[in-house]
Structures are given as structure tokens and as C-alpha cells.
Amino acid sequence: MLQRNPMLSRLAAAIAVALIGAASPAWPAPADDLREAQKLYGQGKVQPAMDKVDQFLKAQPRDPQGRFLKGLLLTEQHRTDDAIKVFTGLTEDYPELPEPYNNLAVLYASQGNYDKAKSALELAIHTHPSYATAHENLGDIYAQLASRAYDRALQLDKSNTTAQVKLAMLKDIFSSPKLAAAQQRPTQASSAPATPAPATTPVPAPAAKPSAPPPAATAQPAPAKTEKPPVVAAVQPSAPASSGSSQGAAGDADAKAQVASAVEGWAKAWSNKDVKGYLAYYAPDFEVPKGENRAGWEKQRTERISRPKSISVDARILHESVSGNEATVTIRQSYRSDTLKSNTTKTLKLVKHGDRWQIKQERAGG
């Protein structure tokens, strides 16, 4: 039977990501007790950190940062049932946050309860369709459920060679060198932790609650509420190979400049909370997340842009290619609001409609 621990080791790494990962919300600056608790947690001093966070929660019992950190500390202490209660409470009070669902899945999986883990991850993805960590973890859960089914098939029919081959393939996947390296990642906070893929699309904070949160929760102070203009890397056109190709190179450079300008305009509209302008950068045939329609997606984006008091989005182009009326751009997106900060890599596929470039597809990763 496929071993459970390899998958769970990599899933457990997501626990630390939710607090200290690169793509994480900037909740309000914590009080001294909470800040000290976070520092102790990063040093691996679990019980002293717990004492500090308990002290903080006596004064602010509903604070999401403090509760989240307590859930992590309980997990470190192997108090799984107590940790489940903490993260379940967060999902009830802040249902729009994907991270507590993800951590519940980790804890359920550690108990071998893969059906509950699957449900929790599906809720995380429903809340935040671009949450890459949850998608990957859900794939691992499906693999674990498949391994159980194949193992059961072999118990009933030892001569079932098809099931034997499939089970062996799953074992090979989870014993690969790449996965083995992932299994060795630390689950505690560090100054530069190696983490699974971070959350992608920024998730705005819940409306007016005692403490506002959401993608992978970090316990660091929020940045100053300053508006930063979108930053787009300058596009350097390639030098023409010969005078005969200069016209084509110039046209390509012009198209790239137009695409870069479209990305910059999209980020600027987002930063300015110009919902109408922002949505206009999406093509009529934009591929909305699976299970949604265009109207529902636009409503959700409108709510998420309107809710924060301020937003600043930097979109730095990492790679760009243009072919005719289609373009693919990889960007490093830095999102900041009064309640959230995240740094993610996205790939945008754009198409040219008339004289303007619009986004047809938006996905996580490079």
C-alpha cells in the first residue's frame, strides 16, 4: 500500500506557508504580545510562543492573526483536535479565507480522514480558485484515495495486474527525488522558507469584522498605506538581424510595447479601484474559473476591488512573447491593500480586439 507519510510531509509544509509564505495577507500590525509570539514561533520556541499568543487573545479573542498562529502552534504540539477547532472557527468567522480550509485539510489528512481533507480543499479552492497550494494538495489527496482503492482491489483480487501497475506508478510518484526534496522542507517559520507554490490571486479582506484578513496568512506588520504606481518592466526589442528584417522587428517591438501598455493599464485600473476600467481589460471570451459564469465572476471581482480602502498593484513583466494577434506575458504581481499583501507569478494570455489588447486567460505560475 502506498505510504501516507510522504504526501503528508509535503502537505504539512503548507501549514507554515499560510503564516509566513510569500503570498500572504498583511493584516493589521500585531500588538507586542503577538509580535513576540511570532518571533518565538520562528525560533522554534513553541510553548513560549503559545503563552504569548494566549495572552494576546485574552485581550483580542476574535483577532484572526492570533487565532491563526495559535492553530499553527497547536499543530506543532500535535494537539490535532484543538488545532482543528481553531481553524474550523476561522472558517466560520471568515469563510472567504482559503488558508484555514487548507490547514484543516492537512490536519484531517494526518488523521487519515481523506474525505474530510478533500472537502476542505474543495472549499479552499471555491473561495480562492487560483490558490495553487490547495490545488496541488487536492491532487495528493486524490492520489491517496486512488492508492487505497487500488490496494483494496488487490486485496479482493491478487491477480489484478492492472491495479498492481497503477499502484506501483503512484509509489514511484511519491518516492521521486523531486518529491523527496519537498518532503524535507521545514514546517516551522524561517527567514527564507522553502515553500510549496504560493497563493496566486489576491483575496480581499472580509467586510467590516473585528479584525480583517486573507492568501496565505503572514503575521508581519502591514505596509504603510501608500499608493505605488504599477511597475512594468521595460520591453527591450531585439536588434534586427539584417536591414531586410528591420521592418518586422520594429513591428514586433511595437506590438510588445502595446501589450506592455495594456498590462500596465490593467494594473493601474486595479490600483485606482476603477472597476469598469479593470473589467474592460478582459476579453469577451475570457476564460472564467471553472464552475463560474462571466456575470458571477465580474460580481465577485467588483466586490473584491471595492471592499479595500486602498489598493496598489505592481505588474513587473518577466517574459513576453507576441505572435500575430496573440500574446503571452509572465508577470510578477505585487498586490498591496490596507488588509492584504501578496507577491505572485502569473501568466496572462492576451488577444488583440481591434486596436486594444485584452486578457483572455489568467493563471498562476510562469
Task: Kindly give the pairing relationship between strand 341-353 and strand 311-323.
Answer: unpaired
Instruction: Return all residues near 183 (Cβ < 8 A) that are at least 6 apart.
Output: 6, 9, 10
Rounded mean pLDDT, 66-70: 90
Query: In the structure, what pLDDT confidence band is assigned to residue 32 with cuts at 50, 70 and 90?
Result: confident
Each residue of 142-162: pLDDT tens digit?
888 888 888 888 888 888 888
Residue pair 339/25 in contact by the 8 Å Cβ criterion: yes
Residue 313 reports pLDDT greater than 60: yes
Percentage of the chain surpassing pLDDT 70? 69
Residue 243 reports pLDDT greater than 90: no
Each residue of 120-138: pLDDT tens digit?
999 988 888 887 888 888 8
pLDDT confidence of residue 64:
87
pLDDT confidence of residue 266:
95
Query: In the structure, what pLDDT confidence band is assigned to residue 170 with cuts at 50, 70 and 90?
Result: low
Starting at the edge strand found earlier in the chain, the sheet holding 326-337 runs: 311-323, 326-337, 341-353, 356-364
Q: Residue 350, Cβ neighbours under 10 Å: how many?
A: 27
How far, in Å, CA of 122 to CA of 334, rounded?
A: 26
pLDDT confidence of residue 283:
93
pLDDT confidence of residue 31:
67
Instruction: Return all residues near 209 (Cβ < 8 A) that are at least 6 apart.
Output: 62, 93, 94
pLDDT confidence of residue 269:
93
pLDDT confidence of residue 334:
87
Query: In the structure, what pLDDT confidence band is assigned to residue 249 with cuts at 50, 70 and 90?
Result: low
Residue 193 reports pLDDT greater than 50: no
* Mean model confidence pLDDT for the chain: 73
CATH number of 5-183: 1.25.40.10
In angstroms, what CA-CA distances link 283 with 203, 269, 324, 352, 362?
22, 15, 16, 9, 11
How far, in Å, CA of 172 to CA of 228, rounded?
A: 47
Query: In the structure, what pLDDT confidence band is assigned to residue 251 with cuts at 50, 70 and 90?
Result: low
Q: Give span(s): CATH 3.10.450.50, the chain.
A: 243-364
Nearest to 140 by CA among 14, 23, 22, 24: 14
Query: In the structure, what pLDDT confidence band is assigned to residue 172 with cuts at 50, 70 and 90?
Result: low
Rounded mean pLDDT, 173-186: 41
pLDDT confidence of residue 98:
86
Q: What is the pTM of this model?
A: 0.45
Partnered with residue 358 across adjacent β-strands are 351
Residue pair 188/16 in contact by the 8 Å Cβ criterion: yes
Query: In the structure, what pLDDT confidence band is assigned to residue 84 with cuts at 50, 70 and 90?
Result: very high
Query: In the structure, what pLDDT confidence band is assigned to residue 57 with cuts at 50, 70 and 90?
Result: very high
Helices 32-42 and 46-59, axial angle in degrees (round to 10): 160
Instruction: Return all residues near 62 (Cβ < 8 A) that are at least 6 apart.
Output: 93, 209, 210, 211
Lowest-pLDDT range, 25-29, 137-141, 349-353? 25-29
Rounded mean pLDDT, 47-70: 90
Give first-to-last CA distance, the chain, whole Å.
Answer: 35
Burial class (CB in 10 A: 0-12, 13-18, 19+), 35: middle
pLDDT confidence of residue 175:
54
pLDDT confidence of residue 250:
63
Q: Give span(s): CATH 1.25.40.10, the chain.
A: 5-183
CATH number of 243-364: 3.10.450.50
Q: Which residues of 186-224 are buried (b: 16+ CB within 10 A; e: fewer)?
A: ebbbeeebebbbbbbbbbbbbeeeebbbbbbbbbbebee
Stronger pLDDT, 131 or 63, i.e. the higher one: 63
pLDDT confidence of residue 225:
38
